[in-house]
Chains A and B, each alone.
Chain A
Amino acid sequence: MAVKKQPDSNSGKLHETTNDWFREFLKHLELFMVETGQSLAANAVTFDLSFAAMRAVKLTLLESGMNDEQIRHLFGRVAFEDWRVANQLKWNAELNERRFQLIDRDIQGTLNQAEQLELAGITQLMRAHVDSELNLPMEGARKLHRLLTDFNSE
């Protein structure tokens, strides 16, 4: 069961293990950037530089133990996260319909790369909705709880 995140009493502070992981990630990221940057021309534009940097991020994540599918879902989630926060996007019929469209195209083998990322992002949004407390059958659970409590007291 998904539990709503409680406010962290240490919010505003960086935990030691987080800091260690980030430093290690940063080191490997820089080393991979040396690799991905070598293919760039002297007059590379921002897009080329960003693409090489993202390749390095992917390589670093692969090295950390993630697989391709997990990385795709992670990128999709990040790509959609700001959109979600900015527009208070909630799961709705339109998104559900769009997800079915993308899944159909995926089955037909006509999904392009941007749409793959969109599908991963929308799927993450759906999972967050499914796991949220709002979507849990709380009323039914309460009735069952009452029934069991009454049964015990008899």
Chain B
Amino acid sequence: MDQSKTYWIDPCAAQALAEWKALFAEQVMMHAKELAKKDKSPGAITLDHYRKSVSIAAQFLVNAIKDSGSSNGRQEAA
């Protein structure tokens, strides 16, 4: 691969990435909040809650991207 070569990014791809990041963060937050509620001392969301939420959020994101890819071709842009 030519390391010196630079690339232009399709704006649709850049927009999709911004939305995916936001969706992932939202999902992590949502599941972390649920875990925090179940804790003995609720009220604080910790790094541990975030860590435990990552795999569920990642799977949700993968499915969402697959679904959007089949409906609007955004998967191709990425």
Contact = CB atoms under 8 A, between A and B. Distances in A.
Interface of B is mostly: helix
Given A23-B22, A23-B29, A26-B22, A34 B45 contact: no
Contacts, number: 29
Interface string A1-32: 00000000000010010011001101100110
On chain A, which size bracket covers the interface? Answer: 10 to 19
A87 interface: no
Interface residues of B, number: 14
Given A34-B11, A38-B11, A42-B6, A27 B29 contact: no
A34 B18 contact: yes
A31 B23 CA distance: 13
A34 B15 contact: yes
B49 to A, nearest CB: 12
Chain B CB within 10 A, most for which of A31, A34, A35, A38: A34
Interface of A: 13, 16, 19-20, 23-24, 26-27, 30-31, 34-35, 37-38, 42
Interface of B: 6, 11, 14-15, 18-19, 21-22, 25-26, 29, 33, 44-45
